Amino acid sequence: MTDSSSEHNIIRIGELHTPQQREFSRTLLLSPLITTAAQQPPGLATRSTDSVIDLSMPTPVTADSGSTQTRILPGTTGNSRRKMRVPTPSLLGTLEFKIYYVICATTIVNMIYTMYQASSPKRPEYEGYKEELSEGWMFGRMMDLSDGQWDTFRSHLPAFASLMFLYVAMNWVFRLAVVRRVSREFLQTPTKVRGFLPTLWFPFLFATVFAIILSGVSTVFILAFTGVNFILAKRFGGRRWAPAVFWVFNMAVLFANEYYKGYEFGRMLQSLAWLDQWRGVLRRWDVTFNITMLRMMSFAMDYHWRVRQEDEASVQQIDALVANPKTEKDRVERSCFAQDYCFANYWAYLLYPPLYLTGPIITFNSFVSQMRYPSPAISTRHTIVYGLRLLASALLMELILHTVYCVAISKWAQWETFSAYEISLFGYMRLSFIWLKLLIIWRFARFWAMADGIDTVENMRRCMSNNYSLQQFWRDWHCSYNKWLVRYVYIPLGGRKTSTWNTFVIFTFVALWHDLTMRLLQWAWIIALLFLPEGLATWYFGKPRWTSKPYFRLLCSLGGTVNIMAMMIANLVGFGDEGVEKMLAKIFSRSGFAFLAVAYVILNMYLQVMFEWREYEYRKEYAAHEASLAQWEMTDTAPRVPVTRSASDSPTLTKRQNRSGIGE
């Protein structure tokens, strides 16, 4: 390496001499900052004026006046090194927590019994809502199938499962019989094939037939909208104002779909009215198009960032990172080859059968990356275990629908004869039903994607009842959607720098994306407002003068209990039934005051157990982190050899370097 401070150098993993040097270079993936010689471990000593590239971002690094800098490429977030605190001692076996266990267990048993009794056919209210119930198959009781979405999914479940089994089986046969014979080069060296990938040949064909079966002649509308989006992305991708074009077009499509109710041919031209008889199994194709719109934006923005990255680094540097992604973040943020952003891959991605109707949402970059390099997280054993978990969740739902008629009672909305305790339990079970319903639907789709070799995000990562923070709750509820919002909305709008107004923009979009109703907008703005006090409390009480106090966890539970109640109210407003106002009025009446006081105390105890369980999870994470550090130190026995580079070894200058005259 030359002594000139104006020299720009990039150290690549393959060019480092010792295993320890290569191992340390991989740790740069954990930090967006460049490590100077004083900070580097043995085996990678360089001058302070030298440059090391963050290998998660193929950006050349400049050194100026002895300092080091890095640039984050468009579409990437860099990598942050998190400092891990020392865990607190366990309290799970103390007398205090044993008392909590008894009280919480007794309360849960009482809640179940009360809801079961309140749903009894012997209650006088039963006659008012029994018309909403259906014939059951457990305990000689009726079952509550009054939720239209769940009833539709449940009734079509055998057909959906058979179709997905057929797709997965045929795709595996196609890969074994055709892809292995026709495209051995792709299997041996996946990066040699660019453009329409062999592993997407069959999904492309099946997805096209699948779309026609579902939407019939309305498939032409899907093709038209997705085609225009593709043209806009390819035509304007890379220009600074391109994201605005993508957003305006896609939001206009959502509003038009809602207004015209799927575009009946008879309304366009009377002579084409006969085509409305051939609209497929799903006559309202536009209802599920919201999910497709997210994929359309993902493709457009991923391609836009790919083009923008070519202004920051050479094409060779960007393409070099396509091979062998190590983490899911690599798959999401590392761009594909430019040729991979073709219409065939785009169409197969949009209509990928297991995920087409419901998600979970996967980005275009990650989808193509997994089609080139299958995720190591997928295994036969893991998929089978996941399928058993799905089956257990479905059986739990059947049990609940036979014993607690929360949906039918909520729709009936006659709360005069129910106590405040019973009403609050039905409200809680209404939200729990929504959580479990969506968990099963998303797990069903994710299971078949896993069986096909595609790994997606678990949408419901944590039980609804195991949340006390609004921010954490929305990270774990519809997690893939949350990650999509962070990547394509939150970060482009400024991230944490503009988080206050950013949150209102995001939740307004979430409400409009779900449905164009004032009720959902009210829900969105209530949720956004709730972020403010939580953020202020976290900022103020998160300082050492509070966190070091022995009563700090008690302060947290006092605030967390208020948070839980506020989240339940907000979500009942947004996703509850028409009688939610009567429900809340009865709970917060003078007669319900005693119940609220007791509930507040018990929730505080429950939160103490929840805090300690989170700390238990953190202790395991901390122990794994310490073990990995110890292993690294034991293997770090390489001699301290400086890494030198000659001027002739310097990589190709980027477009931006050439334009600015650097290195000339």
For 511-605, strand residue ranges (E) read none
Give backbone dihedrals phi and psi of 133, rounded to 5 degrees, phi first.
-90, 160
Q: What gap in Å lies between CA 565 and CA 114, rounded to an integer?
A: 20
* Under 8 Å between Cβ of 53 and 31: no
Q: Per-residue b/e over 449-475, b at no fewer than 16 CB within 10 Å?
A: bbbbbbbbbbbbeeebeebbbbeebbb
Q: What gap in Å lies between CA 493 and CA 495, rounded to an integer?
A: 6
Give backbone dihedrals phi and psi of 63, rounded to 5 degrees, phi first.
-115, 130
**Measuring CA to CA, which residue among 62, 63, 55 is closest to residue 23?**
55
- Report the largest interatomic distance among the alpha carbons of the chain, rounded to a whole angstrom: 90
DSSP class of 67: E
Amino acid at 376: P
* Under 8 Å between Cβ of 208 and 274: no
Which residues have C-beta within 8 Å of that of residue 494, sequence separation ≥ 6? Answer: 502
Q: What angle do CA 440, 446, 451 make, to 5 degrees?
A: 125
Q: What angle do CA 270, 273, 275 make, to 5 degrees?
A: 145
Give backbone dihedrals phi and psi of 178, rounded to 5 degrees, phi first.
-110, -55
Q: What gap in Å lies between CA 25 and CA 18, rounded to an integer?
A: 11
How many Å from the N-terminal Cα to the C-terminal Cα in the chain?
Answer: 17
Which amino acids are annotated catalytic? 514
* Under 8 Å between Cβ of 450 and 166: no
* Under 8 Å between Cβ of 378 and 331: no
**Measuring CA to CA, which residue among 332, 336, 360 is closest to residue 346?**
336
Q: What gap in Å lies between CA 152 and CA 1, rounded to an integer?
A: 67
DSSP class of 641: -
**Measuring CA to CA, which residue among 112, 153, 135, 77 is closest to residue 404?**
112
Region of 80 please: left (phi>0), alpha (psi -120 to 50) or beta: beta
Q: Which two tokens stand for residue 213?
A: 């079966």
Q: What gap in Å lies between CA 313 and CA 354, rounded to an integer?
A: 36
C-alpha of 549 from chain center: 35
Q: What angle do CA 383, 386, 391 make, to 5 degrees?
A: 125
Q: What gap in Å lies between CA 534 and CA 555, rounded to an integer?
A: 13
Q: What gap in Å lies between CA 481 and CA 239, rounded to an integer?
A: 26
Residue 360 preceded by cis peptide, ω within 30: yes
* Under 8 Å between Cβ of 217 and 279: yes
